[in-house]
Amino acid sequence: MKKLAEIIISREEADRINGFLNANSPEEYQGEDETIIHTAVFDDGYEVDVKCCGCDDESSWTEAVLFSPTGTECKCTEPAYEYTGEWTLEFCGITYCVIVKVG
C-alpha cells in the first residue's frame, strides 16, 4: 500500500533552504541549533517530517523522518542534500511518500 502527501513551500522558503544547503562560509551556515521542519500528516495518523538540519562548520543536510501516531520515530532516510522532490519511507508494508514542491 502506498500513501501520498504533498508539502508546498514558498519560493522564499525554498531559496532560504537552498542557501543553507549550498553554504560555503561560516556566515552562511544555518547553525547547529537550527532546524527547518515541514510536516505531512497521513490519514492513519502517521507523520513525516522533512528537515533541513543545520551545522556550525559546514553546509546543511536534509532528511525525512516517519513518526507513529504516538510520536515514536519509526524510520528515517539517509542524509541528503536536496529538500524539494520526493521522500519515501517504508514501514510495516506501507510506503509513505511525501512530495515537497515550491508553490
Predicted structure pTM score: 0.94
CA distance 62 to 39: 14
Q: Where are the domains of the chain?
A: 2-102
What is the distance in angstroms between the CA of the first residue and the CA of the last residue of the chain?
28
Structure confidence at residue 47 (pLDDT):
98
- Residues pairing with 55 in the sheet: none
Collapse the DSSP code of 91 into the 3-class scheme (helix H, G, I; strand E, B; otherwise coil) and give the result.
Answer: strand
What would the mean pLDDT of 25-30 be, rounded to a whole number? 94
Q: Is residue 42 a contact partner of residue 36, using CB atoms and an 8 Å limit?
A: no
Eight-state DSSP code of residue 80: B
State the DSSP H helix or E strand holding residue 21, giving kind and residue range, or none if neither: helix 11-21
Structure confidence at residue 6 (pLDDT):
98
The residue length of the chain stands at 103
Which pLDDT band, with edges at 50, 70 and 90, does 16 fall under? very high
Question: What are the pLDDT digits (tens) for 72-95?
Answer: 999 999 999 999 999 999 999 999
Structure confidence at residue 55 (pLDDT):
93
pLDDT averaged over every residue in the chain? 97
